[in-house]
């Protein structure tokens, strides 16, 4: 038996909606996960589902028995059963139980592992020999002496602020920003966490990725905000748990292939199970807003206590939404070019698509979905229909508190799109937008595919993306754009070599039919500057797309110096993507 990790989860988590000790061990030979990202039903592993005792190997059963015995003899004030969960990593088993004192919790885990390793039976009197009695006495004394502090998560009785939690693979930051913006326009003082930083009432107070436990605590401990809008990432849920006991509303945007093969999460259903934790802790009186077009996300509705609202890009063609509305449920969708809220037979208009800058006249379908999700979140937190509509219309993609996702800049002949897309799904919708703009700019005089303007795509991804994601992005860009450019991600290699990351993307490009040169630049501003230099004075129009992850401010400063203007006006955006 090999120990993988002992981890104290300090708040609601994948396995339990309370702080638990997680002990992961492996039995048998070392094996690597292999399978499909979207497995057939008979291959699903439900990570949070506890296993019956009859399915446990003898060593796992012994480990459970020792934990139970040690907890019984040395209680720390936490109650609840010891449960066993199956991991999708071959041969891995996960044991969990509630804890109240951190040092004692770790001591119990370490003692139980040591006793099982020495084959000390957990029941009856320990027979003499091989130092077993001395070992039991020693570990028992260590457990008895251990005390420590309790979990740091914020309980409902200690919480003043209402919370809306937002998670998903794509769109969670934009949805978070949109929701916060609507609520600010409604007169609320909003505390917001995103992967860019902590924002209080529209002011950045701490830069960095604060989408985990620590960011939530920082907002919830403040006394200068009225409401918390918290982006909640997969990593924080898995590594430490959620920083609070419950929320009033939650949104799950979607799940797609991203950050897989980390912390034992390999498939889309497993990823949905992790992200759905925020929905499982939503109060019964609250709302869970789910993507009806994503079957993994939609299935979360069966596992929550709160009221459910769906959003959909399929409008009234969505079978799931039609069924939900027939039952009197609530949904957010587009009818006849209008974003609105449907509830049973009632329809309430919120805003015309043409008046919402972030959706680019409806061409940016992923942002239509984000706008629908944000409308549901804001309504769940008490915003009126008029306030939601006004917030959607006034949100500007390239303002200081929102830039980073789908930012559009333009000069006489060029459009530059700066976006945070980081997986196949995000890149696909970004290419859709670039193609729409290129078609408008080209008007039959461009040199790109189909007579549209040329599309240049600057690609770079972090090293923690699995090989199939790196190749998939390279394959899409190669198949759908005119010029393929790479930029380094030296600060985000995350254990890989730069050659490995660059090479997997290039392999994907070859699979997509790319046979030409692929220029490589050392960083994002250098890449954009070189492409602007290449097109300087050229009369043929061009669209340059940058996947921007490392130096957004540097890129924005460069574009300002080169006199490319941000495009925020809805009418101007609509003209850019007009068919």
Domain region containing 500? 407-576
Q: Are residues 191 and 50 in the same domain?
A: no
C-beta separation of 430 from 517 below 8 A: no
Question: What average pLDDT does the structure give for the chain?
Answer: 91
* Residue 151 in domain: no
Q: Are residues 375 and 443 in the same domain?
A: no
pLDDT in tens, 488-530: 999 888 888 999 999 999 999 999 999 999 999 999 999 999 9
Domain boundary among 145, 168, 193: 145
Q: Are residues 332 and 197 in the same domain?
A: yes
Helix (H, G, I), strand (E, B) or coil at 357: helix
DSSP-assigned letter for residue 104: H
* Residue 402 in domain: no
pLDDT of residue 166: 97
Q: Region 412-422: what's the mean pLDDT?
A: 89
* Residue 401 in domain: no
Cα 119 to Cα 29, 55, 318, 390, 513: the distances in Å are 19, 20, 57, 67, 58
pLDDT in tens, 202-236: 899 998 889 999 999 999 999 999 999 999 998 89
Q: Region 434-461: what's the mean pLDDT?
A: 80
* Residue 399 in domain: no
Q: Are residues 9 and 122 in the same domain?
A: yes
Q: Are residues 115 and 178 in the same domain?
A: no
CATH for 332? 3.40.1190.10
Report how far residue 397's alpha carbon sits from residue 235's, in angstroms, rounded to the nearest whole number: 26
Instruction: For strands 190-193 and 197-200, give the pairing.
Output: antiparallel
Instruction: Read off the tokens for 135.
Output: 């070992």
Q: What are phi and psi of 343, to 5 degrees?
A: -145, 110
pLDDT in tens, 135-172: 888 888 999 999 999 999 999 999 999 999 999 988 89
Q: Is 240 exposed, middle or buried (0-12, 13-18, 19+ CB in 10 A)?
A: buried
Residue 126 above 70 pLDDT? no
Of the candidates 17, 52, 46, the residue with the CA atom closest to the CA atom of residue 265: 46
Report how far residue 67's alpha carbon sits from residue 56's, in angstroms, rounded to the nearest whole number: 15
Q: Are residues 221 and 334 in the same domain?
A: yes
Q: Are residues 225 and 247 in the same domain?
A: yes
Q: Are residues 478 and 563 in the same domain?
A: yes
Q: What are phi and psi of 66, to 5 degrees?
A: -65, -40
Return the sign of the alpha-carbon dihedral for residues 510, 516, 521, 527. Answer: negative
Residue 532 above 80 pLDDT? yes
Q: Are residues 110 and 207 in the same domain?
A: no
Residue 290 above 80 pLDDT? yes
Beta strands in 182-266 (DSSP E): 190-193, 197-200, 203-207, 227-231, 247-252
pLDDT in tens, 369-408: 999 999 999 999 999 999 999 999 999 876 555 555 788 9
pLDDT of residue 180: 96
pLDDT in tens, 257-270: 776 777 888 899 99
Domain boundary among 145, 176, 209: 145
Residue 128 above 60 pLDDT? no
Domain boundary among 107, 125, 145: 145
Of the candidates 80, 111, 102, the residue with the CA atom closest to the CA atom of residue 152: 102
Of the pLDDT bands very low, low, confident and very high (cuts 50, 70, 90), residue 41 is confident
* Residue 150 in domain: no
pLDDT of residue 316: 95
Report how far residue 543's alpha carbon sits from residue 454's, in angstroms, rounded to the nearest whole number: 6
Domain count, the chain: 3
Report how far residue 430's alpha carbon sits from residue 432's, in angstroms, rounded to the nearest whole number: 5
């Amino acid at each position: 038996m090999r120990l993988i990790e002992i981890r104290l989860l300090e708040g609601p988590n994948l396995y339990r909606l309370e702080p638990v000790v997680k002990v992961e061990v492996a039995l048998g030979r070392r094996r690597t996960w292999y399978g499909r990202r979207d497995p057939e039903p008979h291959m699903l592993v439900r990570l949070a589902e506890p296993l019956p005792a009859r399915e446990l190997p003898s060593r796992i059963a012994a480990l459970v028995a020792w934990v139970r015995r040690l907890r019984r003899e040395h209680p720390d004030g936490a109650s609840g059963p010891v449960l066993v969960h199956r991991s999708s990593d071959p041969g891995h088993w996960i044991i969990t139980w509630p804890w109240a004192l951190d040092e004692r919790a770790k001591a119990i885990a370490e003692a139980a592992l040591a006793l099982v390793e020495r084959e000390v039976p957990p029941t009856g009197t320990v027979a003499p020999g091989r130092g077993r009695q001395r070992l039991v006495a020693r570990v028992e004394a260590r457990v008895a002496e251990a005390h420590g502090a309790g979990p740091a998560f914020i309980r409902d009785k200690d919480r003043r602020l209402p919370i809306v939690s937002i998670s998903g693979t794509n769109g969670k930051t934009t949805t978070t920003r949109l929701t916060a913006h609507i609520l600010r326009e409604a007169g609320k003082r909003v505390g917001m966490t995103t992967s860019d930083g902590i924002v209080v009432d529209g002011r950045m107070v701490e830069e960095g990725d604060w989408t985990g436990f620590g960011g939530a605590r920082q907002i919830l401990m403040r006394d200068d905000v009225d409401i918390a809008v918290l982006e909640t990432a997969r990593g924080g849920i898995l590594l430490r748990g959620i920083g609070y006991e419950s929320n009033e509303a939650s949104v799950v945007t979607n799940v797609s292939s991203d950050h897989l093969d980390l912390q034992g999460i390999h498939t889309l259903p497993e990823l949905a199970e992790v992200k759905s934790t925020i929905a499982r802790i939503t109060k019964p009186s609250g709302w869970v807003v789910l993507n009806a077009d994503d079957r993994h996300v939609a299935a979360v509705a069966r596992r929550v206590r709160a009221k459910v609202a769906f959003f959909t890009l399929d409008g009234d063609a969505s079978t799931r939404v039609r069924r939900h509305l027939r039952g009197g449920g609530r949904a957010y969708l587009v009818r006849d070019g209008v974003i609105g809220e449907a509830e049973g037979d009632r329809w309430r208009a919120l805003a015309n698509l043409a008046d919402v800058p972030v959706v680019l006249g409806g061409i940016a379908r992923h942002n239509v979905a984000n706008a629908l999700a944000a409308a549901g979140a804001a309504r769940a937190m008490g915003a009126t229909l008029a306030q939601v509509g006004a917030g959607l219309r006034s949100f500007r993609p390239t303002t200081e508190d929102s830039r980073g996702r789908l930012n559009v800049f333009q000069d006489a002949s060029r459009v530059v799109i700066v976006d945070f897309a980081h997986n196949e799904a995000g890149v696909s919708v970004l290419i859709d937008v670039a193609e729409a703009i290129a078609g408008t700019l080209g008007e039959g005089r461009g040199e790109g595919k189909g007579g549209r303007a040329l599309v240049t795509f600057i690609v770079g991804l972090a090293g923690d993306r699995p090989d199939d994601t790196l190749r998939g992005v390279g394959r899409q860009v190669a198949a759908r754009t005119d010029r393929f450019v790479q930029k380094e991600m030296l600060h985000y290699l995350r254990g890989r070599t730069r050659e490995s990351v660059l090479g997997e993307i290039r392999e994907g490009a070859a699979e997509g039919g790319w046979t030409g040169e692929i220029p490589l630049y050392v960083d994002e501003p250098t890449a954009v500057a070189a492409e602007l230099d290449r097109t300087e004075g050229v009369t043929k129009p061009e669209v340059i797309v940058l996947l921007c992850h490392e130096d957004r401010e540097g890129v924005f400063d460069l574009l300002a110096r080169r006199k490319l203007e941000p495009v925020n006006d809805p009418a101007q955006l609509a003209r850019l993507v007009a068919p």
